[in-house]
Amino acid sequence: MKTIEKIKELKFKLGSRVLIPAHHYQSPEVVALADFVGDSYKLAVDCSNKKSEFIVFCGVKFMAEGAEILAGPNQKILLPDLSAGCPLADHIDGKQMEDVIKLIANTIKKDVTPVVYMNSTSEVKEICGRYNGSVCTSSNAKKIVEYYFKLGKSVFFAPDYNLGINTARELGLAENAIIKVNKDISFTPKKLADSPKLFIWDGNCRVHKRFLMRDSEDFRKKYKTGKIIVHPECDEEIVNSADISGSTAKIYNEIKDSPIGSIWGVGTEYHFVERIAQEFPNKTIVPLKISICMNMAKINLNNLYDTLNNIDQFIEGKDELKNQIKIDKNKKVNARKSLGKMIKITER
């Protein structure tokens, strides 16, 4: 029996006790087996509203941690490959996070509010909640930063510099209101503008850093009537040269709703571009460059089957549960607070 058929058989047997969410960047064959698909914001919200006992998360570790933070007391979150991490999330740890918050507060002589990207560790989310901040995603970063600015707060944004600077441009911030925070936990004070100010950590996503201006230029030469749409984790000049920028959900919806015969150059993870090209064959959808998230690619049919089979064996008392994501319950409190703040601001 093929692996796909074995997975379907186990899904049927386990029924509503098991839920399989998948991120847009998963391979088409994994997405086809998922119960729902989305960007990191949709997955966080949807998982928090489900009651399944076992959630098999097809994504990377920070996403599974997010589900664990929001999970009910009897829910178990599993990641088919525990080595599926995120180099962007690893750009800042909890100690660096807290040190920067204190440094900025001492410099501007008032508190600073942290806003951390969903692509961050549970430790960083916990610090964020402790300092009354919020998590954000690429789909709601502008709304959340703007929320704090309207309260007169300065914001420390981490860990992705590109999402931070592109959000600053969307908000129309003055140059002296934007301060880059270096990885040695220093920054050039410049002549600081009146509050609010946006301090941005110098981290990046290697998948989106691969896109260069020449990739956009090559597409423009080949497809004269085509449009370019990119993720805001790309460099500022790439975003500025694109026709549209936005989250994976926005990229998907813009292409889905475009006319038949539309031509798109897409600057984001390749498996996602490949899947939407297959889904909308009556449109020309090409990657600006083939850039694969190798960590997302670690989740595959084989380890998805192994995880479901392990759950089945665990339920029957024949094996211990493997690949479970666990976060200390005391650390969950503030991490949950920061995620809850995001949902509250976004849904208000």
Q: CATH code for 3-83+296-327? A: 3.40.50.10800
What is the C-alpha separation between 111 and 154, in angstroms, rounded?
Answer: 8
- pLDDT tens string 178-197: 999 999 988 876 556 566 78
CB distance 22 to 80 below 8 Å: no
User: Do 89-205 and 211-287 have matching folds?
Assistant: yes
**pLDDT value of position 195:** 65
Domain ranges of the chain: 3-83+296-327, 89-205, 211-287
Which structure tokens are listed for 275? 């899947």
What is the C-alpha separation between 347 and 165, in angstroms, rounded?
Answer: 24
**pLDDT value of position 176:** 86
What is the C-alpha separation between 156 and 309, in angstroms, rounded?
Answer: 43
- pLDDT tens string 63-102: 999 999 988 888 999 999 999 999 999 999 999 999 999 9
pLDDT values of the chain reduced to their tens digit, one per residue, 348 residues = 699 999 999 999 999 999 999 999 999 999 999 999 988 778 877 888 888 999 999 999 999 999 999 888 889 999 999 999 999 999 999 999 999 999 999 888 888 999 999 999 999 999 999 999 999 999 999 999 999 999 999 999 999 999 999 999 999 998 889 999 999 988 876 556 566 789 999 999 999 999 999 999 999 999 999 999 999 999 999 999 999 999 998 999 999 999 999 999 999 999 999 999 999 999 999 999 999 999 999 999 999 999 999 999 999 999 999 999 999 888 899 999 999 999 899 887
Angle between helices 94-108 and 122-130 (to 10 degrees): 30
Percent of the chain with pLDDT strictly greater than 90: 83
- pLDDT tens string 285-322: 999 999 999 999 999 999 999 999 999 999 999 999 99
What is the C-alpha separation between 109 and 192, in angstroms, rounded?
Answer: 12
**In which order are the strands placed within the sheet that holds 244-245?**
244-245, 227-230, 263-267, 284-287
CB distance 182 to 222 below 8 Å: no
Q: Domain 89-205: which CATH class?
A: alpha beta
**pLDDT value of position 194:** 61
**pLDDT value of position 124:** 97
Angle at CA of residue 325, ends 322 and 328, nearest 5°: 125
CB distance 118 to 343 below 8 Å: no
What is the C-alpha separation between 271 and 287, in angstroms, rounded?
Answer: 10
Q: CATH code for 211-287? A: 3.40.50.10800
C-alpha 227 chain-centroid distance: 24
